Amino acid sequence: MKSGPTGRGPGRPTNGPTKGPTSGATGRPTGKSAAPKGAPKPPSRGRSAGKSFPVAKDGAKPGKGFGAKFGAKKPTGKSGPPRDTKDVARKAPARTAKPKVEKVAVAPKPVKDAGVTLDVRQFRVAQDDDGIRLDRWFQRHLPDVGFNVVSRWARTGQLRLDGARAAPGDRVADGQTIRVPPAEAKAPRPEKPARAKKQILLSDDEIAFAQDMVIHRDDQAIVLNKPPGLATQGGTKTDSHVDGLLDALMFDSEQRPKLVHRLDKDTSGALLIARSARSAGYFAKAFSSRTARKIYWALVVGVPDVRDGMIDLPLAKQPGTGGEKMHVDEKEGLPARTRYRIIERAGNRAAWVELQPFSGRTHQLRVHMAAIGHPIVGDGKYGGKESFLSGTISRKMHLHARRIRIDHPDGGHVDVMAELPTHFAESMADMAFDMELGDMPLDDEIDTTPTRDDEKKFARQHAKAVRKERRGERRGRGTR
């Protein structure tokens, strides 16, 4: 039997001459290539055998990993031509059509004009806006900018007040500069038919009636002498009211006046109206902080025992009346205080009193006087039949806001007195009250500076005290 060159069996063909050295007499190849130094290596027969990879211009292998995403290039560590050049020619164009190196050189596309202003806007706070919140300022002057947009500008630091970051709830001051970011483009909205603005038309008689009520007017305030029977604001079955007549009180101003407090429908007297948004906020704060002073005149049934007294009774809405009536409620009522001073009395039949509310509860003066047994004349709601006097005394309610004193936004005070309505003045005349006794000074208006007589009286009292001490000393020495 003959053996083949490898010695594995007879007639087994070989793949050709062995390219490497053989070992011993068997003539088996060692597995090491005998190719000359520097010759290209044959392709590996592992998993990547038979596959081809496109090669970038700089010899790097493109990929889709983390490094390829941010432009890093990792060398493959392999060199040499691919095994099948036809396969490379067929697959390479699909992988190397848009190399990443070329994308860097592409110029960015210009942003389309969306109607956005690139200029930062700056506004100076006017005097009428002094003290208001920043979001309220936007409502007044930039109503197209919503609260959410203002909040986002504040969070991102784009909204500035005198160069410092601002929040929607910050208060602005006169003269400050508000830095507002560029206007943002809004998506176009479908066009809607414009609504006709509600126009309040007043007749010549209504305009004349409203202007005849004015007893004081300046740049910031108007004071009316409201007649009894005219409501301050509208409501159910109430068509005629002061609020509906405010258009007639604009005069030379472009702003519609604003109510800052109210009087009951049957109560007459001084009613303050603000002429601007700034003065409205200022007056409202004065009323809430109780720095404003309101003086009322009233005729009451009977005569209180205490000439100068304080009524401190909590008030609440009376159940079952729909909130139209108040009553004293010691448990759940809100604090309410009223000071009264008797000005003059008509025997035991009636008394002319001055009332000062130190809180602002609904119907406070009427409920308090009825609670101490002296209801206001003509107030059948709280006084019942006992509140009506016989004779020529009118059955209308005798409660009148005689005086209002409040700090003025521009300095000083608004201090105005309102004349009595006809029915009240006639009742005063029938009872022979002296009108000169009515306007009593407020506590802070009383001059406490001692007079010459006060000084003499104090000197006499001091001398008497000294003499008494000396008598006590002499008696003490005599007992020793």
Closest C-alpha among 193, 229, 275, 190 to residue 378: 229
**Per the structure block, which two tokens stand in for 453?**
């007589």
- d(CA 350, CA 348) in angstroms, rounded, equals 6
Closest C-alpha among 368, 390, 389, 366 to residue 379: 366
Q: In angstroms, what CA-CA distances link 246 with 78, 113, 196, 243, 361?
A: 92, 47, 21, 6, 25
- d(CA 238, CA 186) in angstroms, rounded, equals 43
Where do the H-state alpha helices sit in 100-221? 100-103, 134-141, 147-155, 204-212
Q: What are phi and psi of 271, to 5 degrees?
A: -130, 120
Please indicate whether residue 264 is annotated as part of the active site.
yes
Write out the H or E segment, with its range, that includes residue 281: helix 277-288
Q: Which of 264, 312, 407, 443 is catalytic?
A: 264
**Per the structure block, which two tokens stand in for 251?**
């005069």
- d(CA 379, CA 386) in angstroms, rounded, equals 9
Query: Count of CB atoms within 10 A of residue 137's CB?
Result: 21
Contact indicator for 241, 230 with CB cutoff of 8 Å? yes
| Three-class SS state of 310 | strand
Amino acid identity of residue 292, one-letter, is A
Query: Count of CB atoms within 10 A of residue 379's CB?
Result: 27
- Strands 177-180 vs 164-165: parallel, antiparallel or unpaired: unpaired
- d(CA 378, CA 398) in angstroms, rounded, equals 6
Q: How large is the C-alpha radius of gyration of the chain? A: 49
Q: Which residues are designated catalytic?
A: 264
